[in-house]
Amino acid sequence: MNFVVRYQLHTYVVLFFAFIYNIPAYAQTTYDNPYLDIGIFAFEENDFASAISHLKRATLKQPNNPVAYHYLAKTYQKMKRYKEARYYYGQAYGIDPELNDLMYDRGYFNYLTHQYQNAFNDFVQAVKQSPDNLIAHYYAGICAFKTNQFQIALKYFMSCVKQNSNIKENCEYYAAVCYFQTGQPEKALSLFNSIAKSSQSSALKKETNKWLKILKSNPALFRPYHLYVNFTMTFDNNIRLAPSEETFSDKDDLLLRTFVGAKYNFVQTPFMIMGLEYDHSQANHVDFSDYDTVGSAGSLFLIYNKKMTTQSLYLRPEHIWLDNKSYTSNQGIEYDIKWQKNKHFKLLANFEYTFMNNFMNDDYDGTSIKFDIGLERIFPDNENLAFVSGIGVLNKETDGKDKSFQAGKLDCSIRFHNDQLTWTIGGSYSVRHYMNEDIHFLRRRDDRLTRFSTQFSLNEYMIKPVFQIEHVVNCSNINQYDYKKSAISFSLRYFY
């Protein structure tokens, strides 16, 4: 007999008898199955091929033995054969969900394979089974963190912080990030300061100092109110003559826009923000001063965060003056929902319903319904890059029947963002189908509009400069509605 084979057999026989005579309680747990006992010892000796052979024999001898399936799963996990590991974890769970260490081991397996929500559910069960298992608390927090359940993650991290363990500093760091993400910057700052003073880990100090820089350079985070100002200068080679109408001048002009706004959060908790917002805007032309506009808009908003979902509701009244005369008055309701699976992927949806009242032309009175859905994908290999895309539909019904239309839109863009700059390049394509004949041309109008734009902003300045180029082409089945326009804009933005 080969020496290695004799040596392995001798080892397993010795370990088997030690297991039977010295640990009778565990022998009872394994249902007195010698194949299982030898399989477990082979697993502990990292002899995975032998472990699988004996553990499979154990399942043939005792098909309802959860321990055999549990160790088969662990063995395949060690071999990185994750499909088989997942199957056997499921088999073990189906027989005995309360099996000792099963939920922790399956949770760690799901964590390794990036199934963070499943891993979180398993670690929660592991914590319930073994409340003193700090590592289970820690991984439950990590998985909640990775699925953007920051308030839940905070609970698990703080339970570890209260224990004097070797993972305390890591838990303090993640707890501080959770405080920041749940709208509690004061607690985040306090905890980050504590880590920066006491930590012996250079890597942890480096990451902590990054967060301290963000917090200390953004005092607005600590205030319930915010102010913002935007000034834009635009050269447009085809000036639009009225905000609600598709009427263009075919002439260029310089347009100066000023936008001032304020927001106050009178309710601010980790789960909910409620407040008021007011915006005032003004657009002045150098040559076409008869088409100068002034806008005034308010908003009552409610934002609710739960796990991976953020829901927002806005009530928006708006009034616009054209050449110092009342032009339009709109009242709208808007609902947004954002589902963020992880830091690399999120889905967004938006619904708007608006009542429109045009004081100068009753044909534009009516209602508007808009629905958009989109996604944002950050590239894991380069987190500065993101792909953003969306589709939307719009239905506008007006008193002037030839002004009513339905539209669909597709847009996509690539964004590069870091602490110094943000650069976005993208475009959109939309179709617009009018519901009735045009009163002037006695035929239904169909438009195809293509838009390209690029925007570049510098982020490291208190007053942020933004540069934008835009080109728009509209092609209609009625030639008189064809148009092209290009615009170059420079903006200065300030947020307090």
Q: How confident is the model at residue 282 (pLDDT cuts 50, 70, 90)?
A: very high
Residue with tokens 């008869």: 290
Query: How is the chain split into domains, by residue range?
Result: 3-216, 223-495
Q: How much is the pLDDT for 386?
A: 94
Residue 353 CA: distances (Å) to CA of 141, 307, 365: 39, 27, 14
Query: Of residues 313 and 199, which shows the higher confidence score?
Result: 313
Cross-strand bridge partners of residue 267? 274
Q: What is residue 116's three-state secondary structure?
A: helix
Query: In the 8-state DSSP scheme, what is residue 220?
Result: G
Structure tokens at 353: 């319903």
CATH of domain 223-495: 2.40.160.40
**Angle (deg, nearest 10), helices 66-78 and 34-44:** 30
Q: Within a 13 Å sphere around the CA of 242, how many CA atoms are in the beta-carbon half?
A: 16
Distance CA 88, CA 314 (A): 49
Short-list 284, 280, 276, CA closest to 259: 280
Q: Please report which helix (H) or strand (E) contains residue 357, including its range.
A: strand 345-358
Q: How confident is the model at residue 163 (pLDDT cuts 50, 70, 90)?
A: confident
Distance CA 488, CA 252 (A): 12
Residue with tokens 């947020």: 495
Residue with tokens 């890597």: 203
- Asked if residue 340 has pLDDT above 90, the reply is no
Pick the range with the lowest mean pLDDT from 189-193, 212-216, 436-440, 476-480: 212-216
Q: How much is the pLDDT for 406?
A: 95
Buried b (16+ CB within 10 A) or exposed e, 118-142: bbbbbbbbbbebbeebbebbbbbbb
Distance CA 124, CA 273 (A): 28
Which residue type is seen at 258? T
Segment 401-441, tens digit of pLDDT = 889 999 999 999 999 998 889 999 999 999 999 999 888 88
Segment 77-90, tens digit of pLDDT = 999 999 999 999 99
- Asked if residue 113 has pLDDT above 70, the reply is yes
Residue 12 in contact with residue 27, Cβ under 8 Å?
Answer: no
**Angle (deg, nearest 10), helices 168-181 and 150-161:** 150
Residue 427 in contact with residue 390, Cβ under 8 Å?
Answer: no
Alpha carbon 158 to chain centroid distance? 24
β-pairing, 366-378 vs 345-358, is: antiparallel
- Asked if residue 202 has pLDDT above 50, the reply is yes
Q: Residue 331 class from Cβ within 10 Å (0-12 exposed, 13-18 middle, 19+ buried)?
A: middle
Q: How much is the pLDDT for 231?
A: 96
Q: How much is the pLDDT for 8?
A: 41
* Mean pLDDT, the chain, whole residue set: 87
Residue 478 in contact with residue 444, Cβ under 8 Å?
Answer: no
Segment 129-153, tens digit of pLDDT = 998 889 999 999 999 998 888 889 9
Q: How much is the pLDDT for 108?
A: 94
Q: How does DSSP assign 281-309, residue by residue? A: EEEEESS-GGG-EEEEEEEEEEEEEETTE
Across 197-219, average pLDDT: 85
Q: How much is the pLDDT for 184?
A: 85
Residue with tokens 């224990």: 163
Q: How much is the pLDDT for 301?
A: 94
Query: Of residues 14 and 194, which shows the higher confidence score?
Result: 194
Residue 47 CA: distances (Å) to CA of 7, 52, 55, 455: 13, 9, 12, 59
Structure tokens at 348: 């967004």
CATH of domain 3-216: 1.25.40.10
In sequence order, the 6+-apart residues with CB closer than 8 A to the CB of 24 are none
Segment 346-375, tens digit of pLDDT = 999 999 999 999 998 888 999 999 999 999
Residue 188 in contact with residue 177, Cβ under 8 Å?
Answer: yes
Q: How much is the pLDDT for 27?
A: 38
Segment 240-253, tens digit of pLDDT = 877 767 788 889 99
In sequence order, the 6+-apart residues with CB closer than 8 A to the CB of 428 are 409, 410, 411, 412, 449, 450, 451
Q: Please report which helix (H) or strand (E) contains residue 439, including its range.
A: none
Query: In the 8-state DSSP scheme, what is residue 70?
Result: H
Short-list 342, 267, 273, 275, CA closest to 305: 273
Q: How much is the pLDDT for 199?
A: 84
Q: How much is the pLDDT for 405?
A: 93
Distance CA 400, CA 365 (A): 8
Residue 95 in contact with residue 67, Cβ under 8 Å?
Answer: no
β-pairing, 444-458 vs 421-437, is: antiparallel
